[in-house]
Chains A and B, each alone.
Chain A
Amino acid sequence: MARIELINLEKVFGEQHAVRALDLEIADGELLVLLGPSGCGKSTTMNMIAGLLPPTSGSIVFGDREVTDESPYQRNVAMVFQSSLLYPHLTARQNIQMSLKRSGLSKSDVSQRVTEAATTVDVAHLLDKMPGQLSGGERQRVATAKAIVRQPACFLLDEPLAALDAALRMTLRSELVNLQKRLNTTMVFVTHDQVEAMTMGDRIGVMRNGGLEQIGTPNDIYNNPESLFVAGFVGSPPMNFFAGDIETVDGQPTFVNAFARFRLADAYGQLAPRSGVTLTVRPQFMRIVSEAGEGTVPLTVYAIEHLGNESVLIADAPDGSKVRAVVAAGFEAKIGQALHASFDPSNAGLFDTKTERRVAQ
């Protein structure tokens, strides 16, 4: 069990700054998800926490102990790799035992620990199979058993579910969270899948270009994105963006572009006119109306995706950008049909297009 602290952590590969000035604190027993697109530095960060990669500068602290120069084993971390990597020529049992190779435990203790770990994740009946004979989900569970058998200070999971099919991913997602809560062990989970991040994390750290873009609870990240990047990365279907300027109309700050104008929410009451802003609206808050009017956007239907309980309308705005709206399941529209959409201004976010940061209210 350990609290993990990363202090001003940097990693440079030749010309490339993989991780820059990263400060991060992970509470004891917390499940932190590092979320970001490939190349954002999340895996590099995890490798440094694990001790597989020495940081260029900065330090890593487990509990009260600085571990920057310690080996992965001394740090007592357990890691589950992408596609649930196991030694391919060893049985599940031997794979799990490998985690205890240096533990100095007696044979009977090792065997008991292996059985316990395997039972915890429900693979006790698979112990004598080779990894090649296991299904993707079974392999993932064996890899998890291999991780928990050491009773590590923290679990590090590097996209362990990425190679699995959607249904299995959903099952294993909840299994992993349940297990983490039962064992109450700190876990860092790296993924590029925002659904995984939202559903699993106590907190989510969104990474971009080697830095932490925003960190917070899933609700925080979803409802109050600090930047356009976070706004666009988190949420499904993805956020709608409208580029335009702020003008004062009838004494009220109003968002204006070539095809629409929206009066801003009262919270923005004192906002001065400015150019180059982006208005963001979640598809869930878009309402489809048939008549143009105050605060509507003209749209041309592009596609409808039926999800069963609801549908997603995808339409082109006059400037060619795609706009998505969540509509009722029975909603019908023809491709190419003209529609209009509006939304409640209090549900819109406002960002500076250039700095990509949220515009203060």
Chain B
Amino acid sequence: MSNLQFALLVTVPVLCFLVIVVAYPLGYALWVSFHEVSFFGGYSTEWVGLDNYVAVLEDGDFWRSALLSVRFTVESVIFTMLIGLGLALILRDLRGRWVWLRAILILPWAVSPYGTGILFAFLGRGQSGIGTAFISLFGSEETINLIAANIVVEYLALGNAWNLAPLLAFFLLASMMTTPSRLYDLAAIDQINRFEVFLHVTLPPLRFTFFVFTCIITVLSLKQFDYIFTETQGGPGNASSVLTYQLYKISFVNLELGLGAAMSFYLLFLILAVTLGLYFFWGRREARNA
């Protein structure tokens, strides 16, 4: 058997599998997006050209949920970065008998988005939730409902960050370990202040990790569905009805499959545009410095 034959033997099955599980549904979705699918009086499809794509753009709910998706994503990234960095700094400075905490802190990441949603739905409730419990510590009688229209997206982003930050923290910790401790001595000789030490010693080796995780968390947040589905069902009202939730409603509740398929391609474009933009404006620079 020649090298080429062997290569084909091991790769063709994988390629076939990928075609079946990725290309076929994608192609089918593309086909559906150009049709109007109806289930009344038997399953039938009708070619409508770009009508679905135009209809999506004219739909105010689409723009609203797209904005919610962006808001949820941006906040998720910011919260994850802050929590991840904070955790990593704490984990780095653990000494002696506290080192085992490093292992414990990975646990939130081990919870599925589905489970995270249920957990945070409980925590967010007005009567028995964590907000009410917290202010009652200070003697207040008020109820704080975290799943309220004006802050629900922030609360969702926080839960999402809780779920994702431990993984980032571990990658940051690994990068921090590569910083020679003598660099902190150099900073002491130069007597630069704590912020400058963070900026010039702690942060530089972490920047590439931040870039990679910004991409990962952006994509994960834009396509996040099960977590939001179990936590808020897009509510209250439609206050947390992000693009993925809107897609679900249109496709599987309203059964407007063509419209939903067209909308899903806009989501795909959004994800591609954001990640390409991140790479173009940030990633190339980090790759040069790395």
Contact = CB atoms under 8 A, between A and B. Distances in A.
Interface residues of B, number: 16
Interface string A95-118: 000110110000000000000000
Contacts of A90: 200
B186 A71 contact: no
A37 interface: no
Given A87-B200, A89-B204, A90-B200, A71 B188 contact: yes
A101 B191 contact: yes
B182 A82 contact: yes
Chain A, interface SS category: loop
Contacts of B186: 79, 81, 85-87
Interface in B150-207: 180, 182-183, 185-186, 188-192, 196, 200-201, 204-205
B200 A89 contact: yes
Nearest to B203: A89
Contacts of A312: none
Contacts of B180: 85
Most chain B CB atoms below 10 A, which of A71, A77, A89: A89
Contacts of B192: 98, 101-102
Contacts of A207: none
A98 B183 CA distance: 13
- Residue from the set B183, B191, B201, B289 with the largest chain A CB neighbour count within 10 Å: B191
Contacts of A71: 188, 191
A91 to B, nearest CB: 12
B188 to A, nearest CB: 5
A87 B197 CA distance: 10
Contacts of A81: 182, 185-186
A331 interface: no
B230 to A, nearest CB: 42
A320 interface: no
Contact of A72 (B183, B188, B200, B289): B188
Nearest to B190: A98
A73 B191 contact: yes
Interface of A: 47, 50-52, 71-73, 77-79, 81-82, 85-90, 98-99, 101-102, 130
18 contacts: A50-B189, A52-B185, A52-B188, A52-B189, A71-B188, A73-B189, A78-B189, A81-B185, A85-B182, A86-B186, A87-B186, A87-B201, A87-B204, A89-B200, A99-B189, A99-B190, A101-B191, A102-B192
Interface of B: 180, 182-183, 185-186, 188-192, 196, 200-201, 204-205, 289
- A-B CB proximity, top 7 nearest: A73-B191, A89-B204, A72-B189, A81-B182, A98-B190, A52-B185, A102-B191
Given A72-B191, A78-B189, 15 more contacts: A47-B185, A51-B188, A71-B191, A73-B191, A79-B186, A81-B182, A81-B186, A85-B183, A85-B186, A86-B186, A87-B201, A88-B205, A89-B204, A101-B190, A102-B191
